[in-house]
Amino acid sequence: MTNNIRVFLWLAVGLAVWLNYSQWQIDYGVQPAPAATEVAGSTDSTGAPKPANLNDSVPQVAQPAASTPAPTDGVPAVATAQTPAGADVESARSQKVRVTTDVLVLDISLTGGTLVRAELPGYPVVKGEPAPVVLFNTDLPSTTYVLRTGLASSDDPNGPTHLATFTTPADSYTLAPGQDELRVPLTWTDGKGITVTKTFVFKRSMFAIELEYQIANATQAPWHAASYARIVRADPPVERSMFKLETNVTRGPAYGEGETYRKLKIDKKDDATLSIKVTNGWIAGIQHHFVSAVVPDHTTPHTFTMGVIGREYALTSLGEVQTVAPGTTKTVKESLFVGPKLQKQLETLHPELSRVADYGVLTLISRPLFWLLDHAHSIVRNWGLAIILVTFMLKLLFYPLSEKAGRSMARMRALAPRMKTLQETYKDDRTKLGQATMELYKQEKVNPLAGCLPMLIQMPVFLAFYWVLLESVEMRQAPFFGWINDLSARDPYFILPVLNGLAMWGQSKLNPPPPDPIQARIFQLMPIIFSVMFALFPAGLVLYWVTNTGLTILQQWNINRKISAADAARRK
């Protein structure tokens, strides 16, 4: 019995320490600038030099030989454009096209077609207030965050890069009611016969953006260019408040190779000089609940590189050189994503892009758990009810094991008077007390550790729920009922933590009392300790625990009732 109680205590202490450390890391820990790539295929790292200025550098591509296809091996060097630092940022402020869809308000700079601001009207920073989450920013050099795209040409260093000037027929575009697609064309020409139409294609209710380059060559010579996309971000340290789920906290970056998945950090040398050849991959800049991503053509190799200067990073995807023959037109496409980490939408671009919803070491449990919650939500249309429904399903799944453990606990409770007698008999000899206790357990066929099994099973699920609530934007600011209008934030009136404490107290009354007075006192304090700890956790997590504890109480009460009835019948 003593070992059983110690296991419970160590589980509780370990849980409290781990979760509070995780929350502290989120709020106060060092947060690397986010960048992510997912790749499939071989790598070819050559350590390309860092650009002198991440804002202005343009990938330099080599012109293929006259009778040979574009090169697929090697990593192109990075050159620095002779443009004053910040010039394109200043131009972006004065020459922008505003695009309004049903889910996005996006500013596109006519300098290069750079995405310089993205408002998410459906995702307020603070629930109930009008200010939306904004992903991109060019207001201050120290907090620059943009998504640049362009064509790097070996034939024209002043070609249609992110530094070039584009034109467009209108200064604003709006997705009209009933309209499913909105096309925003930007045009560049060299005045000598090369015309590039760079079109952003928006779809209703989608945060994915299709990017199309239509390259028309009206000259007498072939024209060569490679498409590239670059996420540029500078993240200075910011002050964060304890026990608050931030909407704009930078989260860990990620990188995958084949079937693996690894996070990139700007302060890690191997990551800061990343240069690899990739087929069927993606890159992304991640922040809590939101992401900007680039998914290039999955059929051709792309070179992924990362450059770092201080706390600023540039994560780039560079495609192969394309040859546009004289008198022909060629189209190059890639996909962008700007918005919340909606896993279903992310997977429409790439089956592995939903990995940006990073559940950490418990991904193997959290992903199926989110899948269950998502399907339950599609039925009940309320995330709180979905949590209750999934908790009930999990309880049914583990019912045989829980029932076996419950029966053991019920038998232990029935043996409490005999245990007390043994304690009085051997109160001065703990060795004999232990031997007599084990003999009693053996005689009555009771396993004192069986009661720990449900707790051991619940802990990974509990922690997986924690990360699902923390990382799944689908549950961000999701209401339940009454006073709980955000399941991802703590209960504003601490009602659920109090209910949890009462439920734990009720559960303790159904379990056998600890034999040691000190341990008994500690167990009496556990409901209070957990209530205080849970007061800081997301309401959805506490809702799961209260529901699970309530179902456990019902189950244990029923088992105790059956055991008592069986014992009474046997005595007759």
Residue 141 DSSP label: G
- DSSP string of 295-324, one letter each residue: E--TTSEEEEEEEEETTEEEEEEEE--EEE
Which pLDDT tens digit goes with each residue over 516-558?
A: 667 667 777 888 888 888 888 889 989 998 998 999 899 888 8
Which tokens is 357 given? 């919803």
Exposure string over 493-514, b if 16+ CB within 10 A, otherwise e: ebebbbbbbebbebbbebbbbb
Is position 186 within any domain? yes
Please determine, for residue 18, whether its predicted confidence score (pLDDT) is greater than 90: no
In three-state secondary structure terms, 5 is helix
Of the candidate ranges 44-53, 148-157, 229-238, the one whose mean pLDDT is the lowest: 44-53
Identify whether residues 385 and 325 lie together within a single domain: no
> According to the model, what pLDDT value does residue 414 have?
73
Residue pair 312/232 in contact (Cβ under 8 Å)? The answer is yes
Please determine, for residue 264, whether its predicted confidence score (pLDDT) is greater than 50: yes
Identify whether residues 346 and 464 lie together within a single domain: no
User: Which positions ≥6 away from 149 have C-beta within 8 Å?
Assistant: 112, 113, 114, 162, 198, 211, 227, 228, 229, 230, 334, 336
Strand partners, 203: 181
Is position 176 within any domain? yes
Is position 29 within any domain? no
> According to the model, what pLDDT value does residue 402 have?
73
Identify whether residues 527 and 421 lie together within a single domain: yes
Helix 416-425 and helix 430-444, axial crossing angle in degrees, nearest 10: 150
Distance of CA 304 to the CA centre of its chain: 22
Q: From residue 447, how far is each of 11, 315, 424 by CA, in Å?
A: 19, 57, 22
Residue pair 222/323 in contact (Cβ under 8 Å)? The answer is yes
E strands present in 362-482: none
The domain boundary, picked from 350, 380, 409, lies at: 350
> According to the model, what pLDDT value does residue 555 have?
84
Q: What whole-number distance in Å separates Cα of residue 497 and Cα of residue 101?
A: 41
Q: What whole-number distance in Å separates Cα of residue 239 and Cα of residue 466?
A: 23
> According to the model, what pLDDT value does residue 448 have?
66
Which tokens is 346 given? 């992310």
Quote the Cα angle for 548-554-560, to 5°.
130
> According to the model, what pLDDT value does residue 519 have?
67
For residues 546, 552, 554, 556, the Cα torsion angle rounded to the nearest 10 degrees is -150
Please determine, for residue 245, whether its predicted confidence score (pLDDT) is greater than 90: no
> According to the model, what pLDDT value does residue 334 have?
96
The domain boundary, picked from 284, 317, 350, lies at: 350
Residue 262 DSSP label: B
Please determine, for residue 281, whether its predicted confidence score (pLDDT) is greater than 70: yes
Please determine, for residue 514, whether its predicted confidence score (pLDDT) is greater than 70: no
Is position 243 within any domain? yes
Identify whether residues 387 and 238 lie together within a single domain: no
Is position 181 within any domain? yes
Identify whether residues 139 and 244 lie together within a single domain: yes
Identify whether residues 263 and 198 lie together within a single domain: yes
Please state, for a pLDDT cut of 70, what percent of the chain lies above it.
Answer: 75
Please determine, for residue 322, whether its predicted confidence score (pLDDT) is greater than 80: yes
* 250 pLDDT tier (thresholds 50, 70, 90): very low
> According to the model, what pLDDT value does residue 407 have?
72
Tell me how far apart the 2 most distant CA atoms of the chain are, in Å: 107
> According to the model, what pLDDT value does residue 80 have?
32
The domain boundary, picked from 350, 384, 418, lies at: 350
Please determine, for residue 56, whether its predicted confidence score (pLDDT) is greater than 50: yes
User: Which positions ≥6 away from 157 have C-beta within 8 Å?
Assistant: 58, 81
Please determine, for residue 507, whether its predicted confidence score (pLDDT) is greater than 90: no
Give me the number of domains the chain comprises.
Answer: 2
Residue 374 DSSP label: H
* 246 pLDDT tier (thresholds 50, 70, 90): very low
Which pLDDT tens digit goes with each residue over 113-160?
A: 999 999 999 999 998 899 999 999 887 666 789 999 999 998 998 899
Q: Which domain holds residue 422?
A: 372-571
Identify whether residues 379 and 340 lie together within a single domain: no
Is position 516 within any domain? yes
Is position 356 within any domain? no
As separate numbers, helices (DSSP H) first and strands (DSSP E) second, the chain gives 13, 20
Identify whether residues 428 and 477 lie together within a single domain: yes
Identify whether residues 341 and 396 lie together within a single domain: no
Mean pLDDT of all residues in 502-517:
77
Please determine, for residue 21, whether its predicted confidence score (pLDDT) is greater than 60: no
Identify whether residues 124 and 183 lie together within a single domain: yes
Q: What whole-number distance in Å separates Cα of residue 407 and Cα of residue 132?
A: 53
> According to the model, what pLDDT value does residue 137 have?
83
Identify whether residues 434 and 541 lie together within a single domain: yes
Mean pLDDT of all residues in 38-62:
51
> According to the model, what pLDDT value does residue 513 have?
67
* 343 pLDDT tier (thresholds 50, 70, 90): very high
Q: What whole-number distance in Å separates Cα of residue 10 and Cα of residue 13?
A: 5
Mean pLDDT, the chain, whole residue set: 79
Q: What whole-number distance in Å separates Cα of residue 300 and Cα of residue 71?
A: 12
pTM: 0.78
* 34 pLDDT tier (thresholds 50, 70, 90): very low
Q: Which CATH number goes with the domain that contains 238?
A: 2.70.98.90
Of the candidate ranges 152-156, 214-218, 236-240, 457-461, the one whose mean pLDDT is the lowest: 236-240
Q: Greater confidence, 521 or 261? A: 521
Is position 11 within any domain? no
Which tokens is 95 given? 């020459």
Mean pLDDT of all residues in 462-477:
86
Identify whether residues 389 and 320 lie together within a single domain: no
